[in-house]
Structure 1
Amino acid sequence: MGKKSKPLDGAVPNMPIASAVERKDTIAMQSILLQALPVARSVEDVVIETTSGKAFTGGRSTPVYKVSGTVRKENGTAVRRSFVVKWVRLPDDKSEKTMTRRESYAVERRFYENAAIQERLRNAALTIPKVLASDRGSSFCILMNDLTANYPRHPDRMSLPEAAGALRWIATFHACFWGDSFPHVLWDRGAFWTQTCSVQGIAVAWVATHQFIESKYSQYVTSRTRTVGHRLQTAGPAIAHFLTEYAHNRNYRTVIHGDYKAANLFFDAENAAAIDFQYAGGGVGAEDVAYLIYPDAFGDWFGHEEMLLQIYHETLVTQLVLQRKGGPSTLPFETFLKFYELARLDMTRHWLCQGWIASTEGEAKLVGALERALDEIDGGSVLFNGDDDYKAALHRFVFGS
């Protein structure tokens, strides 16, 4: 019996796209592109470049390759086109973290490949990457069109018109899936911060945030600011459960992006396009909104918050009417606003568990907003009668009765 042949240096078993970019094999990539592009008669002058990933995926940890080539059509016309290969090498272990990551990339692949999802997005004229080919191996590797060809701007910090465009995009996206969740394709519960509901250490972590705000921005401190950490640690599980309950309620649920931030958005002069749907799944639309305009090191949106929330809500209602899924009474603005405030509390719960400490004036303003929301829920102190009290309080907070 003859010996098995060894793979060529840089070759990845059963993964031709990954092998081509790893080896910078332009001949192999030329063949892959020719098969992936039905209109192409030939593909010439292929170039493969390694990038940090940030320009295409929003993070430096994911290797991304930019591929370009001259595509010649059957009628003889030729055009230079660019493509992106996203290749994620996953550890070969069974840890919870690795298994969650592995499932997140499986969700992303299914999102791009599901015909019903893609049809809804096309009908709504929403731009996302088109997967042209993918490897089915031990790691995640897909070949996509390059969004920067038509959406060249990819800012760290969105301008106000870009933030408004991003909110119109996500409102239209939410309307496309209103009442649905695609549980067998996407996450049953979307958003990366909902994957766990830990509240451990929040009260202790809050001490540093309180000290910072008290020393730098005391105008945002009240007599109850010190207690916010303990109160959020106590209310956190009930808030997370409440949002999950309505993420499964046909009257309020939709598919959320689950990681909707500037790093996952591209812009042209007027419109947005989105990428990275690893944590897409069932949720409440306000969760994507809260994450998009959550304050960070680049700044905050408190000076324009009401206007931006109105833009999202008006677009959502308009799209629900156009798609014959509802109207103004489907989600009144006041109800949406309360879901938004709850989503922001839930997100802060997650960040505090990850060691977050307020360090900017925008985050000091956030603390004030969190405190006011908690005051309305618990009256300024922990509700000692347990989950039933919090459930009733949260229902009153959102619906007013």
Structure 2
Amino acid sequence: MNETVDQVFKAWVSEQLDDPDVHAFSLLQRLWSGYGQCFRFFSPKYNCSLVAKAVKPPDILSHPKGWNNNDSHQRKLTSYQIERTFYSQFRARLMLPAPELITEDKRGDAMLLIMTDLDSQGFDQRYETLNIDQASLVLRYLAGFHATFLFSREDIVTQAQGLWPRGTYWHLDTRQHEFSAMADGFLKHSAHRIDRALANCPYQTVVHGDAKVANFCFTADAKQTCNIAAVDFQYPGAGIGVQDVAYFIGSALSEDDQAEATGTCLDVYFEALRNAMPLSSSASRFHPEEVEQSWRALYPIACADFQRFLEGWSPGHWKLNTTLNHYTQKALSSF
């Protein structure tokens, strides 16, 4: 990547760390819709490389799909504030690899997060697609994540305070413009019923909310859950685990693998969830079989919820495939 890190962000990092000699800045990516930059740099004060996420909304809003409105803008600003909350208030409870917050700052709508560098810890492998074995590692990671924050529907409101009231970036309440753009049909008419089915599940957790393959980092010899790290916590909030699972499977596997191995993936996830629950102070009071039965039954509902979003946001999107539609139709047939 030939682009450079914004000089304003470099100065902000140096000031925030009280380290005038920070150097070796390297741009990792621009944030979605031009809202800032994510970059790596070296800090002599900490004697290591660190990663910063610097948010500065653009003067002119521009969205790849044309969704330029105030709701979209406010949702992005809220997502960065929630990411800040996750790292500062929830990250310490997660006994799984993920970046750790070094320091942060907020200046109006601009925000700076400085975190540990996963690459320097060995999590330097990224993939665009996964095979079943690789996907299984992530599914086990997600199971551990969900077990950590598993609560009853009544308790999740207070336990997830500071995060999204309902997690995932496609949640219906935050996507009303996209919902309005949907073609008329039974899925659209069922959208609120789908949302209620997910929200009324007696077993709730904090979902990652954007568990796509690009948000997981691997070690070169990844064979265990400890060889996987998750990033990008802008959309965590109350939900059920299979919402992350459905989204992850659709992002990570080929269409053939989705068609042939979704059942296997669910088995891997639920086996890991059953094993992880007794190790979690919050989840250990629930019966793993009851949680599995509840969430398995809601997997088609989770698929239908995501398809509802895609059909409004980007009707020709590549994730609108046969397997997703199969589960969506299964969900709709239950109404």
Does TM, normalized by the shorter one, top 0.5?
yes
Tell me whether 1:46 sits opposite 2:16 in the alignment: no
d(CA) in 1 for partners of 2:18 and 2:181? Answer: 54
In the other structure, the counterpart of 2:198 is: 243
- Identity of counterpart residues, as a percentage? 26
For residue 140 of structure 1, report the CA deviation from its aligned partner.
Answer: 1.6
Residues 166, 297 of structure 1: alpha-carbon distance in 2 compared, 3 angstrom cutoff: closer
Residues 127, 60 of structure 1: alpha-carbon distance in 2 compared, 3 angstrom cutoff: farther
Show CA shifts across 1:49-80 (max 9, x none). 23335xxx8998641221024568xxxxxx6x
**Amino acid aligned to 2:88:** E
Tell me whether 1:146 sits opposite 2:117 in the alignment: yes
Gaps of 5+ in 2: 1-5, 62-68
Show CA shifts across 1:181-210 (max 9, x none). 534311111111112356434336xxxxxx
Show CA shifts across 1:214-243 (max 9, x none). xxxxxxxxxxxxxxxx22122122111221
Show CA shifts across 1:130-152 (max 9, x none). 11122221202111111122211
d(CA) in 2 for partners of 1:130 and 1:365? Answer: 36
Determine if contact 1:59/1:263 at 8 Å carries over to the other structure. Answer: no
d(CA) in 2 for partners of 1:358 and 1:32? Answer: 41
In the other structure, the counterpart of 2:235 is: 279
**1:136 counterpart (91, 106, 110):** 106
d(CA) in 2 for partners of 1:296 and 1:144? Answer: 26
In the other structure, the counterpart of 2:214 is: 263
The 5-angstrom pairing of residues 294-333 of structure 1 reads: 294=250, 299=255, 300-323=257-280, 324-333=284-293
TM-score, reference length from structure 2: 0.80
Residues 111, 192 of structure 1: alpha-carbon distance in 2 compared, 3 angstrom cutoff: same
The 5-angstrom pairing of residues 198-217 of structure 1 reads: 199-203=179-183
Residues 365, 185 of structure 1: alpha-carbon distance in 2 compared, 3 angstrom cutoff: closer
Residues 106, 60 of structure 1: alpha-carbon distance in 2 compared, 3 angstrom cutoff: closer
Query: Which protein shows a greater Rg?
Result: 1
d(CA) in 2 for partners of 1:175 and 1:156? Answer: 26
**Amino acid aligned to 2:213:** A
In the other structure, the counterpart of 2:78 is: 103
**2:175 counterpart (196, 218, 230):** 196
**1:65 counterpart (39, 48, 62):** 39
Residues 273, 11 of structure 1: alpha-carbon distance in 2 compared, 3 angstrom cutoff: closer
For residue 88 of structure 1, report the CA deviation from its aligned partner.
Answer: 1.5
Residues 20, 365 of structure 1: alpha-carbon distance in 2 compared, 3 angstrom cutoff: same
- Which of the pair has the greater relative contact order for Cα pairs under 8 Å at 6+ separation? 2
Tell me whether 1:173 sits opposite 2:153 in the alignment: no
In the other structure, the counterpart of 1:186 is: 163
For residue 107 of structure 1, report the CA deviation from its aligned partner.
Answer: 0.6
In the other structure, the counterpart of 1:39 is: none
For residue 119 of structure 1, report the CA deviation from its aligned partner.
Answer: 3.4
d(CA) in 2 for partners of 1:283 and 1:87? Answer: 28
Show CA shifts across 1:69-108 (max 9, x none). 4568xxxxxx6x2211111112579922222211111111
Instruction: Decide which moves more: 268-277 or 257-266.
Output: 268-277
Tell me whether 1:253 sits opposite 2:217 in the alignment: no
Determine if contact 1:321/1:327 at 8 Å carries over to the other structure. Answer: no
Determine if contact 1:172/1:316 at 8 Å carries over to the other structure. Answer: yes
Residues 172, 295 of structure 1: alpha-carbon distance in 2 compared, 3 angstrom cutoff: closer
TM-score, reference length from structure 1: 0.67
**2:96 counterpart (111, 116, 126):** 126
SS at 1:332's partner residue?
helix
d(CA) in 1 for partners of 2:126 and 2:71? Answer: 32
In the other structure, the counterpart of 1:368 is: 326
RMSD over aligned Cα atoms: 3.0
Residues 296, 50 of structure 1: alpha-carbon distance in 2 compared, 3 angstrom cutoff: closer
